[in-house]
Structure 1
Amino acid sequence: MKWESRGGKPPALLHQAIPSLSVTEWALAAGYDGVVVDLQHGEVGLESACTMLRAAPRDSAYSYARVGSLDPAPILRLLDSGARGIIAPTIESGEQARMLVEATKYPGVGNRSLGPSRPALYKGESYTEAGNREVSTIAQIETVAGLKNAEEIVTTPGLDSIYIGPADLAVSFGLPGRGDWEDGPVREAIVHLAALAREHGVTLGIYSGSGAYAADLLDRELVDYVGLGIDLVFLSRAAQESIKTLRGTK
């Protein structure tokens, strides 16, 4: 399955670490296709995340949340508030992937409880079947252990996508914790996961801090979508650039 943005191109999502409705709205207005509300890193708590998800249009296909664990309780709250995808970090086994599916899909596929706080979030004759189609269950692979067990993760029934955490994966290999790798084991892992994803009919995404690097991966059809940048990092860089210009230290 190929995911497409509003412009017919692969989607780009902003990682949002600042608990702000304005940032969510700004990202969509700037041309991003959605956001990843990040409860794993940054300052976003569950209550703020649920409110932020409501800042996105009801039918926004890429209003995602990254959780800190496989605890089904916050996952349920986020989905009921409008999250169209749940990214779970550090998935390292098929059993963990199965637990993620259980938390994100309604019975028939998973074990999600029915009780939406945004009524008519999913359109169709069967609300639960529509919800299972429209919510993306995404396992983040970011360790050597996860990479080793990638095939059993990818083939988990009900799993929709794999998301690569390149910096943590690099650290797991004993490399510096940076994200955009042109060669070496992280790049080899990207190629390997791309092949597995194509073989088993799931999509593949990755985080990148560089538009040029992400565009190259998309052009090579190695990934289907990207998480492009973090709001907090963008703000930090802009502030540093402005003060350097003011002080004449560029």
Structure 2
Amino acid sequence: MSSSVPVMMHVATASLAVVEAALDAGYDGLMIDLQHGEVGLEDACAMLRAVPRGNSHLFARPSGLEPGPIGRLLDSGARGIVAPTIETAEQAAQLVAAVKYPPLGRRSLGPSRPGLYSGEDYCAAGNAAVAAVVQIETAAGVDAAGEILAVEGVDAVYIGPADLAVSYGLPGRADWADGPVAEGIEKVAAAARGTGVRLGLYCSDPAFAAAHIRSTGLDFVGMGIDLVFMGKQARATVAALDAALEEQS
């Protein structure tokens, strides 16, 4: 894409065609979502393998911190694991343990995609190539952001504004320009700048995303969900047909 930062689409449908279509449309990368939608572990591994190994913006979001599924996603080519609802430094440490090879973590060495990481020290190369991404999406996570992002091995933080809004008693939506969600985003951004951790944010509106890329210094953006795109276009198509029929009656 022409954006100054990588833009990633959330994929909640178990479909290789959606993966190919999203990248062909110009997205820099993908967020394969095992937490929501219908993507299972086997589906996710196949979808990851459909993307060239050189794509460094290929993330997977499992439903928890279990090292087994995380290891399989990484061995299939995921370049980042996004752990949802991280609220403590201990949870962040669990993520690092599952994502990183020794001595930083406890990821197991085993058969994986050929040539997944290149370098004299395979463990060091793998640790450099793969991102441990904590998702902060609650008020508790915002309050503990400094401690969470200070955990050795945490590479990035991804802010989920809809769940964050719900934790403040607000409607679950993205793109908050003011109020506690906007303040929470700035608190996490400040913690990221203080620790040198990369910062990402989910946005639904391109203009809102552009404003935050400039004002907040985002390093990557999540924008759009395949199921939402399909529903929005389907509703628009049906509405357009109804309008055309009314005009012609």
The TM-score with structure 2 as length reference comes to 0.96
Alignment match of 2:76 (pick from 64, 68, 81) = 81
Alignment match of 2:123 (pick from 99, 116, 128) = 128
| CA displacement at 1:24 relative to structure 2 | 0.8
What is residue 9 of structure 2 aligned with on the other side?
14
What is residue 162 of structure 1 aligned with on the other side?
157
What is residue 237 of structure 1 aligned with on the other side?
232
CA–CA distance in 2 between the matches of 1:212 and 1:8? 12
What is residue 27 of structure 1 aligned with on the other side?
22
What is residue 192 of structure 1 aligned with on the other side?
187
CA–CA distance in 2 between the matches of 1:31 and 1:124? 30
CA–CA distance in 2 between the matches of 1:211 and 1:187? 17
CA–CA distance in 1 between the matches of 2:3 and 2:143? 34
Unmatched segments (≥5 aa) in structure 2: none
| CA displacement at 1:8 relative to structure 2 | 7.2
CA–CA distance in 2 between the matches of 1:233 and 1:25? 17
What is residue 110 of structure 2 aligned with on the other side?
115
- 1:162-187 per-residue CA deviation (whole Å, 9 max, x = no partner) reads 11010000000111111110000110
Equivalent pairs, count: 245
What is residue 248 of structure 1 aligned with on the other side?
243
**After the TM superposition, which residues 40-189 of structure 1 pair with which residues of structure 2 at under 5 Å, given as runs?**
40-189=35-184
What is residue 223 of structure 2 aligned with on the other side?
228
CA–CA distance in 2 between the matches of 1:116 and 1:188? 44
| CA displacement at 1:53 relative to structure 2 | 0.3
CA–CA distance in 2 between the matches of 1:222 and 1:141? 17
CA–CA distance in 2 between the matches of 1:116 and 1:102? 19
CA–CA distance in 2 between the matches of 1:55 and 1:209? 26
CA–CA distance in 1 between the matches of 2:2 and 2:108? 34
What is residue 3 of structure 1 aligned with on the other side?
none
- 1:48-68 per-residue CA deviation (whole Å, 9 max, x = no partner) reads 000000111011101110010
SS of residue matched to 1:220: helix
| CA displacement at 1:117 relative to structure 2 | 2.1
CA–CA distance in 2 between the matches of 1:138 and 1:204? 9
CA–CA distance in 2 between the matches of 1:141 and 1:116? 32
Where do 4+ consecutive residues of structure 1 move more than 2 Å? none
CA–CA distance in 1 between the matches of 2:187 and 2:17? 38
Letter in 2 for 1:139: V
8 Å CA contact 2:138, 2:163 repeated in 1: yes
| CA displacement at 1:7 relative to structure 2 | 5.2
Unmatched segments (≥5 aa) in structure 1: 1-5
Distance 1:213 1:7, change over 3 A: closer
SS of residue matched to 1:163: strand
CA–CA distance in 2 between the matches of 1:127 and 1:244? 55
CA–CA distance in 2 between the matches of 1:116 and 1:13? 28
* Higher Cα radius of gyration: 2
CA–CA distance in 1 between the matches of 2:90 and 2:214? 33
CA–CA distance in 2 between the matches of 1:223 and 1:22? 29
